[in-house]
Every structure is written in structure tokens, then in C-alpha cells.
A and B are shown apart, each in its own frame.
Chain A
Amino acid sequence: MQTHKTGIISSIKAFVRDPFRMFGIVSVVLLLLLTIAPAKDYFSQWHGYQRQYLRFIQNRGDAVTLRRHFEGGIQQIWIPQLGVVDRCQTCHLGLTEASLADVKEEPFRAHPVMPHKLTEFGCVICHRGQGAATTVKEAHHSEMAGEEPILPARYMESSCGQCHQEPLEGTPKLNKGRVILSRYGCVNCHSIVLPDGTKMEASDNPPPLTHIADKTTREWIYAWLKDPTSYSASATMPNFNLSDADASDISAFLIANSVPQPGDTAEVSAESHGPAPDPSAGASLYGESFCASCHATQNAAGNLVGGDLGPELTNVGTKVKPGWLVAWMRDPQKYDPKTPMPQYRWSDAQLKLISAYVQSKTNPDLLANVHLAAATPAQIAHGKKLVIEYGCASCHEIPGVPKSDNFGPNLSRIGSKPVVQLVFLPGMEHTLPAYLAQKIRQPRSFGSSFRMPRYNFTASQVDEVTTALLALTDRSFSLPANLQLAAVHETNYRPAGQAGQIMTSLNCLSCHRINGRGGDMAPDLSWEGTSVQRQWLDDFLKNPNTLRPALIRRMPRFNLTDSERTILTDYMMTVYQTAAFQRDEMPLTGYPPELVEKGRQLFYSKYACQSCHIVNPNEDKGYIGPTLTKVGARLNAAWIFHYLKDPQALRPGTIEPNQHMSDDDARALTAFLMAQKTGAGQGAKR
């Protein structure tokens, strides 16, 4: 030790005594220190990628062009108003090179075509990650507080949803996810406030449980609560994983809590003494009434056939009480004022037929093993406690149980939830999308004490919901005003007066959209008065013959009285008009034969309309568009003319291609179509 010390001291002494040597050594040390900065730069990861890129393009045919576009050093996109500082292009060098689209490996692949420019929004707004980072790990995979990892490609549409609250054609996944959030009632428990300050509204139709004992039995409620899919494969009610005892107690409470309503059980008994109806008559009335437009049933092959606006009816006879069913079919709004089901105005004989047919759709196995002992007051009290705990009242109306707002966590900014705040399951990928997907798929896998029920979603639906949730970010609230594109909300349109009352009882808006409110199953009626002729509308309401035989969803016949029909027709012809043109600006008849002939030629040769439409039933076969055999007695000439000029302007979203027709062509085609009045294919012989 001592020798060492003396050695060092002596060498320092020798060093100080020789200034030349000291100068030399210090210079060498300084020189070495000076090289650290360039060396660090040279050996940095991004520099490696840039050298790799130059080697990569060397052997390509377009090397000269790519070489010319190449700029070394850190590349940066800076957009101050969005807070974007993106250096991704430092390594992703081929992003804007169209010729590198076929490259199969990152980071040199060209960016796929997208609706925005790269310089407009940068990278992290869509892809997330840390834009300012210059190492692969920090840019892509950081899990640190305040930082977020790259968003997997399959959820990319969520990024569009940060600005675009309105549905976009290019984001099918996001749109579907948003529809699920309201269609499956997610927003009944979780409130979601959009950046424009509006709340996402639920569009599911959970039935009120106020008079539930009139409708069904405690046994059915029990079986349904245990597993909704055992009753109907397409059930939208989630599974709460209830124990037998809990399901039994809740069913006891709901039955005990139900208030009987006069008129809920019905009075067809007077007629039921008549002769037994033909068993196939009920099935044909079910078919004629187009119940399948809204209600699905399982066919022999196990496939669901029919619409999803109403509940699946495969086993409905096991659920509903016969008396209630008749009363419901006579006037559904009496039991549930918010139901989308129309009042069909069936006669008592018809009611008996159809209810007997619907009642015959049973599954005896469903309740075969359900034996519940009479409920005790303790059970009922426990049932009520469970109903409050599980938040049943968030969706259903239950007397004595108030609806609690914000039952589940608020999800308005869930897409920005930091990973450090999440608890992951062992073996799970530590990312927000993975967490959300698992939470939607198996909510209780995070612990049995969680209240969230399990929905019956397919893998793609889980992806869609996850995408919609990931769009709810902090950033969407802090965007500049010109980038906040508001959601399209339903208007609160209600048809007025006497006609309005009839339309409300028919629930026209369940299928038709009028003035920004209503369903999308059937055509928008906002301009129906401009479109059709009065006589046709009156006949159609009397007996809705379909215009599109290929559709399985069709308008039913509502058995309207003559006066109801007149009121409806008058109202629609007067009120539902477009301001764009006058209904009567072109005559219904009196077109010169040469013009009709010219229209015929245009129809069959230049525009080849027969590929989708039928004018002459003996020759034409087109099945996509509506049949035009009697179109001259259905539509107004002015409507046809303007529709031909720009179909999407009058029927947004129609698949009829806009042919950019000249006025002359459109006029000739209108003349030809207006000549089709009786269905004999006038002037249509080829």
C-alpha cells in the first residue's frame, strides 16, 4: 500500500516537473474526449438504420431517385398546435416513397395510402408511441408513466375517432364499435361524454320490469338470469355469472315487486271457443305480417333467420304467458311505451291465430329442471339487495329501485388510461388494448368481485368495441376546434297532429328515418311526398306490395282503416317534401313517343339499366334495384328526373351509381319511365 502511494506521488512529481510530457498527455486525453460525441452519434441506433437503408436501396432499380430523396441526420415533423414532435422518419426512411410499398419489412416500407398527409398530423397522433424518442425501444415500447406504447395495427381506426366523432366510410370497425356501445347498452352503466359535450346515448331497448309478473314466470326469469344464451342464442343481455341462490332470489324479488296492470292480460277468451284454426294459418299470418323483418328465429339448421330489431322468438312460448301475449300484440305500447314494435291493428280472430302460433314456439327443456320453492321474505329482500348491487336498474325500469348515474366507471377518456394504472393478469401483454379486450371478453377474469357482466361478443365484436374505446383519448378533448368534428346525433323529430298519433302507434320511426330521426331498415321518408304519387301511396298503405322481391325485410300490412289511411297519405304528401325542386314541375303524362323511344334506347343500351332494374317482366331480370314495371304510376316525373341526375343527393347512401347524366338524357329516360304505368312493359319491347 505504502509503496503504491509513493509510486503514484513520485510519478505525479515527475509529471509536473516535465511540462512537455504533461502537455502531450493532456492533449491526447482531451482529443479522446472530443471523439466521444461524434462516436456516440456514429454508433447510435438511428444512424445504423440510415446506413442500412442506403445499403438496402443500393441494389434497387430506383436507387438514384431514392438516394436523391435521402437526407441524413435526425428528421423531424413539428406541428406546434397539435403538440407533435415526431422523429419517426429518422429511421422509417421510406414512408413517402411510393416505390417501397412492396417492401415486406420495417422500417423501410412505404406508408400505405391514407386520407391525410404525413406532414399534416405527424405519426404519433395515429400510431401513438413517443415521437421525440430516437431509440427503437423508447419510441415503440415505453411503459413509463406518461408515455404510451405503439398502437397495434388492428386498432388503428380508433385514431381516426379522436377527431371524427361522426361515422366515416373508411372506418367500419370504429363505426361498428360505437354502435355496439349504444346498442348493447354499455353506456347505460358507463357514461361516455364526447368532446363536443354531448353524452353517448344508449339505443338498446331494455324492457321495463314494472309489470314483469304479467308477462312471464319466475322460473323463466331464473333460467334467463342464469344464462341468457340458453334461451336465445342472440341474447343481448349479458351473463352475470349468478349462483343458483342469487338467481333464485333476484327472480323472487322481481316477481314480488311487479305491479299488475289492468289490461296486461287479455280478453280473447270470448272468441277462443270458436273452431280450432288451421295450424298453418298462424304461420302464414306470421309470414304475411313480416314479423321476421325484426324478429329472428332459428331454423332447422340452427341458423338465425330474421332481423335483430326485436328479440329472437325461437323459444318465446316458453317465456310469455298466453294472456299477456295477446294483450301485447293488441297494443304493445300499453305495456312498454318505448317499444319499437308497431301496433298491428289485428282483428280478434287474427290475434288469436298469431298469438297461438307464436306461443307454439317453445323449448320444453329450458325450464324442465327449474324447480323453485316459494319465495321467503328474506329471499326477496336479498334479491332486492342484489338488484341494487348489480345495477339492474341502470338498464331496466324497476319500481322502488332508482337508476344510479355513473354506475360503472366513466369511460370518456379510457383510451388514454396510463398502463401503470392498470392491473394485468399474469401472462398478459402489458398494453391498454390487450387490457380492454380482455376486460370486454371476460370481465370477471380480473377477480370474482367485479360486477361487470360478460357479453356474448364474437372475436371481431371485441375488436370493434376495443377500437371504439381506444378512440376516447385525452387528446380528443384538447384538439383545436377545427379538428373536433361533432358526432351526428338523432334529432328529436316527432310527427305532429292526428297523423303523428297514428305514426307513433305504428312506430314508423323504428324502421324509417324522417328528418334525422329513426331507423335505417327502410327508406328515408323525409321527402316521400315529393317522390311518390298520392294514389300509389294510398294503395301501398292498404296493401304494401314489395318493390324489391329479393329483400326479406319488408313493410308489413297494418290493417289501417280508410280514414287512418287518408290522414296518413294527406300528411305525408303535404309535409314530407324537399325544398330542392317542385313536385309538379314535370307532367305525369303526355310525353312525345319519340322522347319515350329515345329513353328506351338509353335505358337498354347506353346506361344498361336492365342490369339492375326490371321494366319488361318478360325480358329484364335485374334484381338489385326496385322493379320499375309500374314506376310511371308510382313516382313523380320531377323526382325521377332529379334522381337520375344525382341519386345520392335525394337518397344518401344509395348504391345506384351517379351517371352524371345530361339534362336531355335524364328527360328522355324520365319520359320512358313515366310511360310504365300498368306493368305491361310499354314501349319496352326490344
Chain B
Amino acid sequence: MKANPWITGMLAVTACTGCMHQKASAPALKAKATGTAIVVVSGDKQLGGIGARLSQPLVLQVNDDQGNAVTGAKVDLTGPRGVVLDPAEVLTDDNGQATIKVTLSGIPGRYEVTASSQDAHGKPFTLSVAEFAAGYQQEVGYEVNEKYCSRCHNPDSTVEQVSNYDNLAVKPHAFTSGDIYNKLSESDLSNIIEHGGPAMNRSALMPPYEWTLNKAEIQAMIAYIRLVSDPPYMAPGVVYGKH
């Protein structure tokens, strides 16, 4: 089947105008100083809704080789398609920090935002920061986690919600520990959630939720675990035999 010349043509035109538009709108920022490393101050690994701006801005800092903040260093930001970074290039302020508002795209998943800058010799250095966009399922999973799971699985205590983590003889894993959860398949995870730890030869301190949560909520919880997992979770591809 041949490519439809009309659509290809239209796409090409749109792409070109898109490029031109982007080039035209970017004002030229000149670095006034240079550093050697970018570090995150705050705003990484946030969970936001799809297509929504993250509640906290991403704050980055450029340091020199002594670890001191550098004022006036230029930071360029790039993200995957659909992620809006405002501003996309910025000079660090008096504290050596750059503040960027991040709006995630309409598709749930993990988004890597890359910040790059150049040192005195023009050699680039970069930093990747992960942000998470939660779709409907992940949002429901987040609520399930907040109500049931995080009481034990989140080791951090707050005044409003005291964590039970320290009281447990066998410690549960935080949902961000990808090296644990990524090895478990969907059915392993739903097994543990539905039938409790002993179903998978794990601790009985994990109770069964088969009769407390419904199937959709359990699926949503798994979707949430997959979203926040670090290192990121890679879904196994579909494997078929040769015909």
C-alpha cells in the first residue's frame, strides 16, 4: 500500500511550519557564566494528572567544580513530545537556580526531562529528571495506595499519617523500588494483593485484599506501582512464534 501523497504532504508542511515557529519564538539567551554540574533542588519525581501542570515547579541548580551555585549559567530543557517546559531555556538566578513549570502530556507514563548546560570549554553536561503523569487508572491506584497500602509500604511518617513501617517484623518494599517490583509479573502482583503474602511465599503480614478491593481497584493499584517504579518498568513485548 502506498503512502497517501496528500496526507504526507500535509504532514510535511505542518512539520516545517512547526519547526519554523519554534525557531522564531525562541529568544537567544546568552550564558553569563558556566558551571560543571546540574543538580535537582526540588520538584522531581512528582505525580501529576495527564495534561495538567505539576503542582510544584522543577527547581534545578547549576554548580561549579567546587560545588558552589553558579549565577547566570544557561540551562536548556528538553522533554518528550507533549511535555511543555516553561521556559525551555533559562539563565540561573542569583541563587544559581532555575525554576521551570512542567506540564505533562495527555498520555499516562513516565517522562524524562533533560536539562543540559555547557562548561567553560563548551563541553555539555546533562541531568535527567523523571516526572509521572497519572491517567484515570493510576489516579485510582494512587487513592487506593493512600487509603490502604501506604500505611505500611511508605516508610515516611507524617503528623497526619503515622507510618506502620517501623513496627513490622518483615519490612515491606516501597512501591518505588523497581528492582523488586519489576521482576514481578502482573499476575504475581495481583496474586499477592488478592491472596496476601503467603500466596507468593512472602510474609503473612501482608493481608489478602480479595474481599476488600474489587478487581478494577487491584488493577489500578498495579498500574500505579508500574508508574512510579524506579528504575522504570518495561512492559514485556508481545512475543509470537513465526508463521
Contacts and interface: CB of A to CB of B under 8 A. Distances in A.
Nearest to B142: A172
A544 interface: no
A611 B205 contact: yes
Contact of A152 (B51, B147, B203, B212): B51
A648 B4 contact: no
Interface residues of B, number: 52
Given A64-B243, A153-B135, A170-B140, A43 B167 contact: no
A219 interface: no
A115 interface: yes
A310 to B, nearest CB: 17
A622 B159 contact: no
A607 B203 CA distance: 11
A62 B217 contact: no
Nearest to B197: A608
Interface in A4-51: 43, 45, 47-48, 51
With most chain B CB atoms within 10 A of its CB, the pick from A48, A99, A657 is: A657
B216 A153 contact: no
B155 interface: no
A5 B1 CA distance: 49
Given A61-B238, A104-B109, A113-B216, A608 B164 contact: no
A112 interface: yes
Contact of A48 (B7, B81, B162, B212): B7
A608 B168 CA distance: 10
Given A153-B51, A624-B152, A660-B211, A611 B168 contact: yes
A622 B164 contact: yes
Given A48-B6, A61-B239, A62-B238, A154 B211 contact: no
A156 B135 CA distance: 10
A648 B211 CA distance: 10
B162 A550 contact: yes
Interface in A69-116: 99, 102, 104-106, 109, 112-115
A558 interface: no
Contacts of A659: 207-208, 211
A611 B148 CA distance: 13
Contacts of B205: 608, 611
A552 B159 contact: yes
Contacts of A373: none
B160 to A, nearest CB: 7
A200 to B, nearest CB: 23
A381 interface: no
B217 A169 contact: yes
Nearest to B165: A623
A47 B3 CA distance: 12
B151 interface: yes
B147 A655 contact: yes
Contacts, number: 120
Nearest to A52: B7
A109 B243 contact: no
Interface string B146-180: 01100110000001101010111000000000000
A657 B243 contact: no
A157 B135 CA distance: 11
B139 interface: yes
B1 A54 contact: yes
A312 interface: no
A659 B204 CA distance: 12
A153 B49 CA distance: 8
A660 B210 contact: yes
A61 B240 contact: yes
A331 interface: no
Nearest to A551: B162
Contacts of A648: 212
A295 to B, nearest CB: 15
Nearest to A549: B162
Nearest to B56: A459
A621 interface: yes
A680 interface: no
B143 A172 contact: yes
A623 B211 contact: no
Contact of A552 (B160, B203, B204, B240): B160
A329 to B, nearest CB: 26
B136 interface: yes
Contacts of B109: 104
B97 interface: no
B240 A62 contact: yes
Given A153-B51, A660-B210, A115 B216 contact: yes
Interface of B: 1, 4, 6-7, 49-53, 55, 81, 106-109, 135-137, 139-140, 143, 147-148, 151-152, 159-160, 162, 164, 166-168, 203-205, 207-212, 216-217, 219-220, 223, 235, 237-240, 243
Given A62-B238, A622-B167, A660-B208, 7 more contacts: A55-B1, A113-B136, A169-B143, A550-B162, A608-B203, A611-B168, A657-B211
8 contacts: A64-B240, A109-B107, A305-B159, A552-B160, A608-B204, A621-B167, A655-B148, A659-B207
A-B pairs with lowest CB-CB distance, top 3? A621-B167, A658-B211, A550-B162
